[in-house]
Chain A
Amino acid sequence: GESVGLHLPTLSVQEGDNSIINCAYSNSASDYFIWYKQESGKGPQFIIDIRSNMDKRQGQRVTVLLNKTVKHLSLQIAATQPGDSAVYFCAENPYGNKLVFGAGTILRVKS
């Protein structure tokens, strides 16, 4: 979900379970959405994207769902692994140049 200030929401899951990370975006005109993974000390890494003419897109172990009615995006990670531990950001691209990032969610995977 969303957060305010310095406190990111944290999702703790057991290794092997499925994870669902949620994001509310702000611009109803946004046409393109991306999920990024950020590991400690590294830059954002692309995971999966979706265009506004779709409501679901699947990748390898990841699925993104888009609900334009309520401006909601979710990332599902199947069979979560310790290497999935990171901060996950959704980003919207309302028009060509810039990405607008959400606040981020910390995913902790317990072995």
Chain B
Amino acid sequence: EPEVTQTPSHQVTQMGQEVILRCVPISNHLYFYWYRQILGQKVEFLVSFYNNEISEKSEIFDDQFSVERPDGSNFTLKIRSTKLEDSAMYFCASSEELGLYNEQFFGPGTRLTVL
């Protein structure tokens, strides 16, 4: 069964450093998402992406964040200068279509620890 994959599974970085989290969405999916989950809290939407453009972003997704689809398979989330409060699980998701009633498939997540 096709699945979303993410690398690395755990990333440790120093405050102020740049990190890039990588995702490979399901191959025939066209819509991509990033969510984050701070330990013990709910999953929060960050950004959605389609046709090489951001479709929507939350207030969390400030100028420190960017997303890119550098090639036909990868989808990345970059945090330019990490802060302690960026420590969280970051989940990538993809869906075949946009709009209601379209299931978003989630990857296993990358645990980001900012020291």
B102 to chain A, nearest CB (A): 8
B58 touches A98 (CB 8 A): yes
- Interface size class for chain A? 20 to 34
Per-residue CB contact flags for chain B residues 86-108 toward chain A (1 = under 8 Å, else 0) read: 00000101000011110111111
Bound Cα distance A93, B91 (Å): 17
Whether a CB of chain A sits under 8 angstroms from the CB of B75 is no
Prevailing SS type, chain A contact patch:
loop
Count of residues in B whose CB is under 8 Å from the partner chain? 27
- Assess whether B18 is interfacial by the CB under 8 Å rule: no
Q: Is the CB of B101 within 8 A of A41?
A: no
For B25, the chain A residues whose CB sits under 8 A away are: none
Partner of B40, one of A8, A41, A100: A8
Bound-state CA distance A49–B106 (Å) is: 15
Query: CB distance A101 to B100 under 8 Å?
Result: no
Query: Which residues of A lie under 8 Å from residue B48 when comparing CB positions?
Result: 97-98
Tell me which residues from 62 to 114 in chain B have a Cβ below 8 Å from any Cβ of chain A. Answer: 91, 93, 98-101, 103-109
Chain B interface (Cβ within 8 Å of chain A)? Answer: 4, 33, 35, 39-45, 48, 55-56, 58, 91, 93, 98-101, 103-109
